[in-house]
Amino acid sequence: MEEVIIIGAGPCGLSAAIECQRQGIQTRIIEKHNLVHSIYLYPTHMQFFSTPEMLEIGNIPFITPNDKPFRYEALAYYRRVAAHYNLKIQVYEEALSIDRQADGSFIVHTRTSARATHAYPTRQVILSSGYFDHPNIIGIPGEETEKVTHYFREAHPYTGMKVTIIGGSNSAVDAAMELLRVGAEITMVYRGADLSSNIKPWVRPLFDGMITKGKIDMRIGSRVIDILPDRVLIENIEDQSIEEVENDFVLALTGFRPDRKLLATAGVEMSEDMDKPVFNPLTMESNIPGLYVAGVVASGRNANEVFIESGRNHGNLIASHIVSRGQKESYESN
């Protein structure tokens, strides 16, 4: 029986495995996709907001000549960290359910990409799954068609195309600025009265300048209500007027949400306001003894609430609590 199974091989899951390993706790990581899959899904040329020091785990320096590292550097860094600590990681294996046993242990049921199923008994589970698998669906006609994506990787495929961007956050603004470089015609649609106040300060003036110059057709206080093969219908929320805009592709950059399925199978309580799992912030243990949350899965519907720089510290809290639990159980049994 494993002492700990960690579900998710993102930075926070890796950090939790390292901290457990330092405490002499045997761990196994189960990952549905590839190592640090959420970072892999970032735009190809994306640069982080954070400095490299804020992304470090396991006391391994993140060396880069840049003030703020790029996606490709982060991928290489986390590969190096995983190799340095010789972490036991099983990729392309999906955790399907977490079954709590009568003695307080768990069985984690999984399925590999080859459709083989496994059942892993373990004393503790750390759930550190990400959120990029679950985009926030708008629910409008045409959203399921091939011309629509919730992921922006790079601008090249949209060269010279008419692109509608739905959203007003950093991801939407960054996509618009990238698309300008390849000659795309951009219509940006956002429900709010103004763009997010969290737009990167060094990007906002450039973005506003592109709107002023007419390079980006910005529709504030509006929403897309239908996506058709050659156009989209945009409604002004205030006066409910509708306009047809020619369109080749739609980037629905409306954010993502953590998956709650595994939490539900294990009986973890959820708070009412933001759909957060109930947990002790000092230990990261849920209402189910021995089941912990780490990283973005500990957030509510706003997945931006937990970042790498904060979630990477969850592993230390969890490892310390597992050790203290073991010492307490040993004392009581004697």
Q: For Cα atoms 175, 176, 178, give the angle at the middle one, nearest 5 degrees.
A: 65
- Residue 43 CB contacts under 8 Å (≥ 6 apart), including other chains: 71, 152, 153, 154, 171, 174, 175, 178
Q: How many CB atoms lie within 10 A of CB 59?
A: 8
HEC letters along 251-304: EECCCECCCCHHHHHHCCCECCCCCCECECCCCCEECCCCEEECHHHHCCCCHH
Beta strands 106-112 and 162-166: pairing type?
unpaired
Beta strands 117-127 and 148-149: pairing type?
unpaired
Do 263 and 291 touch, CB atoms closer than 8 A? no
Domain chopping of the chain, boundaries: 2-133+256-333, 148-252
Q: Tell me, what's the pLDDT at 274?
A: 54
CA dist 138 and 143 (Å) reads 8
314: which 2 tokens?
Answer: 């969850």
Do 109 and 117 touch, CB atoms closer than 8 A? yes
Nearest to 156 by CA among 56, 45, 244, 78: 45
Distances (CA, A) of 140 to 223, 242, 253: 10, 15, 14
Nearest to 197 by CA among 45, 296, 304, 38: 304
Distances (CA, A) of 91 to 9, 36, 258, 304: 8, 10, 19, 25
CA dist 223 and 239 (Å) reads 12
Q: In what order do the strands lie in the sheet with 249-252?
A: 148-149, 249-252, 162-166, 185-190, 216-220
Candidate CATH numbers 3.20.20.60, 3.40.50.720, 3.30.960.10, 3.50.50.60; the one for domain 2-133+256-333: 3.50.50.60
CA dist 15 and 58 (Å) reads 6
Backbone φ and ψ of 41, nearest 5°: -80, -5
The answer to whether the Cα torsion of 281, 283, 286, 291 is positive or negative is positive
What angle in degrees, to the nearest 10, is found between the helix axes of 71-84 and 11-22?
Answer: 20
Candidate CATH numbers 3.40.190.170, 1.20.140.10, 3.40.50.300, 3.50.50.60; the one for domain 148-252: 3.50.50.60
Do 323 and 20 touch, CB atoms closer than 8 A? no
CA dist 181 and 155 (Å) reads 8
Residue 15 pairs with which residues in a beta bridge?
none
CA dist 96 and 59 (Å) reads 32
- Can you give the pLDDT of all 334 residues of the chain as single tens digits? 779 999 999 999 999 999 999 999 999 999 999 999 989 988 898 888 789 999 999 999 999 999 999 999 999 999 999 999 999 999 999 999 999 999 999 999 999 999 999 999 999 999 998 777 778 899 999 999 999 999 999 999 999 999 999 999 888 999 999 999 999 999 999 999 888 777 878 889 999 999 999 999 999 999 999 999 999 999 999 999 999 999 999 999 988 876 777 888 888 998 865 568 899 999 999 999 999 999 888 876 555 544 677 788 999 999 999 998 775 565 455 4
